[in-house]
Amino acid sequence: MSNAAADTLEKVSDEFEAEVLADLEAGRTEALARIGSVRKETAEAVAKILESSLKQAEAVRRQIIGAAELQARNAQLRSLESAVNAAFDSATRSISRSSGAASEKAISRLIQEGLSIIGQKAKVQCAAKDRAEVAAAIKKLGSKTGVSLEEESIDTIGGVVLTTPDGSIRFDNTFEARLERMKPTLRKEAAAILTGGA
């Protein structure tokens, strides 16, 4: 082979090698750019997943804490309700055992309160055990009122039930009824005492 042909062949070979190296470099640069892009996208996706996981974890934490606080509050309310009911039961037992001047005075006040609600003419009912005290209280009111004691006794620990002569209005002023009417207020006060005003 001649020198000229060898030179041409070497020149073509060098040009081909340069093109192949340029193509390889371009491919390498493009591959590195794609790898960088994929890394960036992957990092962003991981950051979003992590952020979402943290938000979900915080939401679950708040939900668990809220549920625990609610359970604790419900347990406290059940305990409080139990204590208040025990206090009401104790008060009811104490009231049912009362007698004498204090009981007679209380009966008189209950009758007068009932009369102020339904009018000066009324029929009065009471427990059999309170009959003498109620009769004495009615007698003290005098004849100016049209109050009469009914023969039929009622089942109560104490107090009276007043009705108008025609039976259209009934006022239950028994100890149980009064306690029931006052329970919401008493419960609130007892709760404040038992919880230290909270």
With 0-12 / 13-18 / 19 or more C-beta atoms within 10 angstroms meaning exposed / middle / buried, residue 110 is buried
Q: Are residues 30 and 71 in the same domain?
A: yes
Q: Are residues 119 and 88 in the same domain?
A: no
> How do residues 133-157 score in pLDDT, each as one tens digit?
889 888 888 766 788 889 899 999 8
**Percent above pLDDT 90 for the chain:** 30
Phi and psi dihedrals of 27, rounded to 5?
A: -65, -40
CA 173 – CA 113 distance, rounded (Å): 8
Number of domains in the chain: 2
> How do residues 67-87 score in pLDDT, each as one tens digit?
999 999 898 888 888 877 887
Q: Are residues 103 and 92 in the same domain?
A: no
Mention every residue, 6+ apart, whose C-beta is less than 8 A from residue 146.
Answer: 120, 121, 122, 165
Q: Are residues 32 and 68 in the same domain?
A: yes
pLDDT value, residue 91: 77
Q: For residue 39, how far is the Cα from the chain centroid?
A: 51
Q: Are residues 105 and 142 in the same domain?
A: yes
Q: Are residues 92 and 180 in the same domain?
A: no
Nearest to 106 by CA among 86, 67, 124, 133: 133
Domain with 139 in it: 99-194
| Paired strand residues for 125 | 161
Between 103 and 60, residue with greater pLDDT = 60
Q: Are residues 86 and 107 in the same domain?
A: no
Between 9 and 65, residue with greater pLDDT = 65
Nearest to 198 by CA among 68, 186, 188, 78: 188
The CATH number of the domain where 161 resides is what?
A: 3.30.2320.30
